[in-house]
Structure 1
Amino acid sequence: MTYTLAEIAAALGVEVQGDGSIQIDRVSEPATAGSRDLALAMKPDFAEQIGNGAAQAALLWQGADWQSYGLKGAIMMDRPRYGMAQLSAMMDQGQGYAAGIHPTAIIDPTAELGENVSVGPFTLIGAGTVIGANSVIASHVTIAPRVRIGEGALIHPGVRIMANTTIGARAILHGNVVIGGDGFSFVTPEKSAVEQVRSTLGDSSGTRAQAWARIASLGGVEIGDDVEVGANSTIDQGSVRATRVGSGTKIDNLVQVGHNVVIGHDCLLCAQAAVAGSTVIGNNCVLGGKSGVADNIQIGDNVIIGAASAVLSNVPSGRAMLGYPAVKMDTHIETYKALRRLPRLLREFTDLKKTVSKNGLSD
C-alpha cells in the first residue's frame, strides 16, 4: 500500500508540489505523522501542528505556503476534505475477508451467486436469492429466501437480510444491520387510547384497555444503488407496499427506519435518527443525530433537520428545522435567545412592580 506523493496527487486530479518521489505508506494527523506518512493538515490550525511530527509531505488547502511548514512536498486542493474520499479509498486495506466460499457456509441450491462472490464462515443464503458479481458476504450473515443483492456489495458480519428484500449495486451493510424485519404495526378491535389522544390532543376518556392485534408485513424493502447502512441500524419492511431507500443515501449507526417509509436519493441519516412509519422524505435531506420524524409526515427535498429535533408536521422543501417540536431554524434560535433572557426580564418586572407599589400607583 505504498504510493509516491506524485501518484497520490494524480489520483486526486491535482499537481504535486515539490518532491513527488516521497514514499507514502499511510495518512496521519500532523502532530503524530512519521516520515512516510501524509499529514492531513487541511486547514491552518492543523498545519501548525506539522512541526510536532516528522512528516515530509502533507495534504493542504489551496494556496497554502507549504514550504513554510518545513515540508519537502505537498498536495493542495480547493476542498481537501473531499480529497479524503479518494485518498482513504486508496489507503484502505479492508477487513481481510477471504475469497471463495467457506466450507461452513450453507447456500441453498436454488440461490444464484455471480462471479467472484465470496461467502464467509457460518453464513446462510436462502432459496431463490440472487447475489451480484464481486460481492463480499462476511461471516455469520443470514440472507433469507427471495432476496436480490446487486453487484459489488460488501456485507459485514452479523447482518440479517429478511425475505423479499431488494438491494442495489455496491451496497455496504455494517455489522448487525437488519433489513426487512417486520414493521411495528398493531391494531385494536375498537378505537384505542392512542388514536383518541391523537385526535383530541390529550383526551383519552371513553376508551378501554384492549389487546393489540398484529398486522403482518407483506411489502418487503427496496434499496437503491450505493447505499451504506451503519452498524446496528434497522430498516423495516412495509405492510403492503415496500419500504424504499433511494440510491446514494447513507445511514449511520443505530438508525431506525420504520415500515412504509420512503427516503429519496442522496440523503444522510445520522446516528440514532428515527423515522416512523409511512413518512416520505425527499431527496438530498439530512437528519441530524437523535432527530426523529413522526409517522405519516411529508418532508420535501433539501431539508436539514438539526440534531435532537422532533418533526411533528410536514416540512416544505429547502427548509432547515430545529427544536422540539421542530420549527424553522432561525425561529428556534430567536425563541431560544428570548428564553435565555426570561430570568432577567422577570427580575426587571419584579423590580418594576415594587417601584410602582412604592409610588402608590398600584390598585
Structure 2
Amino acid sequence: MAYSIQDIATALGLTAEGNGALTVSGVAEPATCGPDQIALAMRPAYAEDLPHGQARAAMLWQGADWRALGLEAAILPPRPRFAMSGLSAMMDPGQGYAPGIHPSAVVDPSAILGTEVSIGPFCVIGPGARIGAGSVLGPQCHIGWKASLGDGALLHAGVRIGARVRIGARFIAQPGAVVGADGFSFVTPEVSGVERARESLGAEGTDAAQSWARIHSLGAVRIGDDVELGANACIDRGTVRDTLVGDGCKFDNLAQVGHNVVIGRDCLICAQVGIAGSTRIGNNVVLGGQTGVSDNLVIGDNVITGGATKVLANVPAGRVMLGYPAMKMDTHIESYKGLRRLPRLFRDVAALQKAVSKLVGND
C-alpha cells in the first residue's frame, strides 16, 4: 500500500517537509533505497549512504538539512526511533494469514469464537476455550481446555496455550511460544543434596542416589493486555496460585518464566533471560539478555540489569545491576577495572620483593 509523506507525517503526529504529496510504498536503508521507498537515515552517519541509493524522501533527525542531502521530502521527528515504531506499523505487510477457519482446523463444539476470527491450518481449539474478536491464529496453534484469549490476539505458527490460561487483549506470540506448561517442581523423599548445599553454602553435599517426585502444577497463568512473547519463550503455570504477568510486558526469544512468578506492568525481558520460581518483579523492570534471576527474590520497580547479570539477592527499586553476582553497575565497573590492573600490580609487587631482597642481602 502506498502512502504520501504527508499521510505518514500526519499519522505520526509530525510535520512533512518538502513535497508532502510524494508517495512511498515501503521503507529501506539509505544505500539500497529505491525511488518509491522512504529511507531510514535517522542519524548523520546513516545519511552518508543516501547518495548510494535512489531515495527521494527520508526519515531523518530533528534539525537535519534535508535539502542539502538531495531529498524532495523528509520527516524530522524529535525521537526518530519512536517515530519508526509508528512507521513500521503502517508499512508492515503482515504474514498473509487467510481470514476464516481453515478446513483442517479442529475446533471443539464448546469453544466460543468471537467475530472475525482467523484460524489457520491444523490449529486445535480445545473444549471451553474462548477466542476474542479479531484474533488471528497462524498454522498449528493449540488453545487448551478452558483457556481464554482476549480480543485482537495474534499467534504465529506453533504457539501453544495451555489449559485454563487467561490472556488479555492484543496479545502477540511469536512462533513456538508456550504459555501454561507445568512448572519445574520436583522433590526427594529425604533432604536432597541441593537443599544441603544451600543450607551449608556448598560445604556439605551428598553422593547418595536420589529419585525425584513430581509436584503437579495446579495453578495456571494470567497475562494482562498488550503483552508480547518472543519465539520459543515459555511461561510456566503456577504450583497452586497462578503465574502473573502484567499489562504491557514484552518478552524476547527464549525467555523462561518459572512457576508462581509475578511480573508487574511494562517490563522488558530480553533474550535468554531465566526467572526462577516464586520471584516477584516490579513495574518497568528491564532484564538484559541472559540475565538469570534466582528463586523467591524480590526485584523492585524500575530495576535494570545488564547482559548476563546473575541476580542472587533482592534488588531495591531503581537500581542498575551488572555482573555475577549482581552488584550496582558502577561498583561492578570499578571492580572490573581493578581486575584488569591485577597483572600490572603483580609485576609491581614482584619487583618490590626483588628490591627488598637485595636490600636485606646487603645488610
Check whether TM > 0.5: yes
1:146 is aligned to 146
1:273 is aligned to 273
Q: Which runs of 5+ in 2 are unaligned?
A: none
> 1:317-336 deviations in whole A, cap 9, x for unaligned?
00000001110000000000
Distance 1:88 1:8 in 2: 11
Normalization by structure 2: what TM-score? Answer: 0.98
2:247 is aligned to 247
**Code of the aligned partner of 1:138:** G
Is 1:189 the counterpart of 2:175? The answer is no
1:313 is aligned to 313
Distance 2:195 2:164 in 1: 31
> 1:275-327 deviations in whole A, cap 9, x for unaligned?
01111110001111111100111000000011011000000000000001110
Distance 1:104 1:255 in 2: 31
Distance 1:291 1:361 in 2: 54
2:342 is aligned to 342
Matches within 5 A, 1:106-121: 106-121=106-121
Distance 1:124 1:362 in 2: 89
Distance 1:203 1:135 in 2: 54
Is 1:293 the counterpart of 2:266? The answer is no
Which secondary structure does the structure 2 equivalent of 1:84 belong to? Answer: helix
> 1:45-68 deviations in whole A, cap 9, x for unaligned?
111111111101110111111111
Decide whether the 8 Å contact of 1:192 with 1:207 is kept in 2: no
Change over 3 Å in CA distance of 1:15–1:102 after alignment to 2? same
1:67 is aligned to 67
Normalization by structure 1: what TM-score? Answer: 0.98
**Post-superposition shift, 1:97?**
0.3
Matches within 5 A, 1:1-363: 1-205=1-205, 208-360=208-360
Distance 1:119 1:148 in 2: 15
**Code of the aligned partner of 1:322:** L
Which secondary structure does the structure 2 equivalent of 1:349 belong to? Answer: helix
**Post-superposition shift, 1:205?**
4.5
Which secondary structure does the structure 1 equivalent of 2:180 belong to? Answer: strand
Which secondary structure does the structure 2 equivalent of 1:66 belong to? Answer: coil
**Code of the aligned partner of 2:180:** G
Decide whether the 8 Å contact of 1:191 with 1:207 is kept in 2: no
Distance 1:285 1:160 in 2: 26
**Post-superposition shift, 1:362?**
10
Distance 2:31 2:71 in 1: 13
Distance 1:63 1:121 in 2: 50
**Code of the aligned partner of 2:173:** L
Distance 1:338 1:210 in 2: 43
**Code of the aligned partner of 2:200:** T
Decide whether the 8 Å contact of 2:187 with 2:215 is kept in 1: yes
Which secondary structure does the structure 2 equivalent of 1:331 belong to? Answer: helix
**Post-superposition shift, 1:203?**
2.4
Which secondary structure does the structure 2 equivalent of 1:68 belong to? Answer: coil
> How many pairs were matched up?
363
Distance 1:50 1:361 in 2: 73
Which secondary structure does the structure 1 equivalent of 2:321 belong to? Answer: strand
Which deviates more from structure 2 when the two are superposed, residues 199-208 or residues 155-164? Answer: 199-208
**Post-superposition shift, 1:37?**
1.1
Which secondary structure does the structure 2 equivalent of 1:175 belong to? Answer: coil
Change over 3 Å in CA distance of 1:205–1:173 after alignment to 2? closer
> 1:145-200 deviations in whole A, cap 9, x for unaligned?
11011000001111111101000000001111111000000011121110010011
Which secondary structure does the structure 1 equivalent of 2:11 belong to? Answer: helix
Distance 2:114 2:186 in 1: 39
Distance 1:42 1:224 in 2: 33
> 1:255-280 deviations in whole A, cap 9, x for unaligned?
11111011111000111111011111
Q: Which runs of 5+ in 1 are unaligned?
A: none
**Post-superposition shift, 1:208?**
3.5
Which secondary structure does the structure 2 equivalent of 1:58 belong to? Answer: strand
Distance 1:187 1:361 in 2: 65
**Code of the aligned partner of 1:310:** K
Decide whether the 8 Å contact of 1:255 with 1:270 is kept in 2: yes
**Post-superposition shift, 1:103?**
1.0
Which secondary structure does the structure 2 equivalent of 1:340 belong to? Answer: helix
RMSD: 1.2
Which secondary structure does the structure 2 equivalent of 1:360 belong to? Answer: helix
**Post-superposition shift, 1:353?**
0.6
> 1:194-233 deviations in whole A, cap 9, x for unaligned?
0010011012346743211000001100000000000011
Change over 3 Å in CA distance of 1:216–1:51 after alignment to 2? same
Which secondary structure does the structure 2 equivalent of 1:180 belong to? Answer: strand
